[in-house]
Structure formats: structure tokens, C-alpha cells
Amino acid sequence: MFNNKECGLKVAEFLLQIKAIKLQPNKPFKWASGWNSPIYCDNRKILSYPKIRTYIRQQFVEMIVDTYGKPDVIAGVATGGIAIGALVAEEMGVPFVYVRSSTKGHGLQNKVEGVLDSSQNVVIVEDLVSSGKSSLDALEAIREIGCKVKGMAAIFTYGFSIAQDNFKGANCKLTTLSDYSCLLKQATASNYINEKDLSSLKEWRTSPSSWKQNQI
């Protein structure tokens, strides 16, 4: 995570406040992977709240400049990273492109939309990182063009060990405005969850694939 705990807690507070994140350890959500999850995250809701949207945009710019320096281009990952990535690019005064989840099925069959030259360096913007697979697919699409990817910046990560391993294997640095640890601290401090919930939520982060598989 970006080395700014105040930002991490503030972003977590906002995400809980606008219900971009919901915590339900006693009534888990089911992910497409088959995992049971006590958390639901939809960071696109940020776009509907101008003050929060502005804060996120400004913190992104600070994090990117401090961590990677000003890039030539910002690239958003479809779909959640497109709007926030465009806002960040506008604030920084640099070009913006976005990366599709798959190549377009007609026309030029592009995967990267926008103007991107192999001589340019890029910072990728994501809204959420879980395993990191879709994020790193976008990374590879940009590298295939010949661009240098300075790193990836995201709003939130669950902090799974598999994601850390995947980013390390891809030789890509990941920085985030907030993470699961900050979320649990903020949720506890605001009495959003109790101690029993906290214990269950910590267990999920450690073993997400097996958490409550035999209880539902």
C-alpha cells in the first residue's frame, strides 16, 4: 500500500460510508470463483460522489508521482479503472488509454484503446485488485506494444498472497490507496463490525478459498 496510513483509513471510511464496500461475515457473498466472501466491493460508486471522487483523484496523483514519477500515459483497466483513470490523467495533464478485458470482436480488434507509442512509459490504474489476474493481463497487453510500465496504482486490494506472488512474478510494482487491513481497522473503530466479526474477517483473508465452504 501507499505509505500513507491516514489516506488508507480515510479511503476505507469513504468506501464504507457510500456502501462501495459491504461487510457481511454472517451472510457471505458468492464469488464467480466459487469462494464465499464476507466482502462485496464496487468502487465505481465513488463516481457518484463528487467530493469523494475528487479526494480519490487527488490522492491517486500524489501516490503516482511520489512512487513512479509523472508518466507519459495513464492506462485504465476495463471496466472499473476507466473512469477513475481518465480523471487521474486529466488531473496530471497526460494522455489516457484503456485496456479491454479481451480484444474487440470487430474492426481493428484492439485490446488497447487510444493512442500509445512504444517509446512511452505508462502507469496503469485499477479500481480493485483481488488475485491480480485481470490487472496483469492488461499489463501484458501494454508491454506487448513495447511500452515500459512503471507500475500499477489501485484504489483497494484484499492483499491476498496470490496477488503478491502474481505481481512479483510479473515484475510489476503495485501501490494502493487503501487495503483490507485499513478497512478492518476503520470498520472496527466505527463499530461497523464487532470482535467476533473481526476474527472471521481475518480468517477469510488468510484462507479465502476454504472459508465457510462447509457452512453454507
d(CA 207, CA 163): 13
| Mean pLDDT for the stretch of residues 191-205 | 94
Q: Supply the DSSP symbol for 166.
A: H
* CATH of the structural domain 5-198, one choice from 2.30.30.30, 3.40.50.150, 3.40.50.2020, 3.40.720.10: 3.40.50.2020
State the Cα–Cα distance between residues 45 and 52, nearest whole angstrom: 10
DSSP codes joined into one string, 64-89: HHHHH---SEEEEETTHHHHHHHHHH
More reliable by pLDDT, 107 or 8: 8
pLDDT at residue 216 greater than cutoff 60:
no
pLDDT tens-place string over residues 20-67: 999 999 999 998 888 999 999 999 999 999 999 999 999 999 999 999
pLDDT, position 81 = 97
CA angle, residues 68, 159, 111, in degrees to nearest 5: 60
Q: Output the pLDDT for position 118.
A: 96
- CA–CA gap between residue 115 and residue 117 (Å, rounded): 7
Q: What is the pLDDT of residue 125?
A: 98
215 pLDDT above the threshold of 70: no
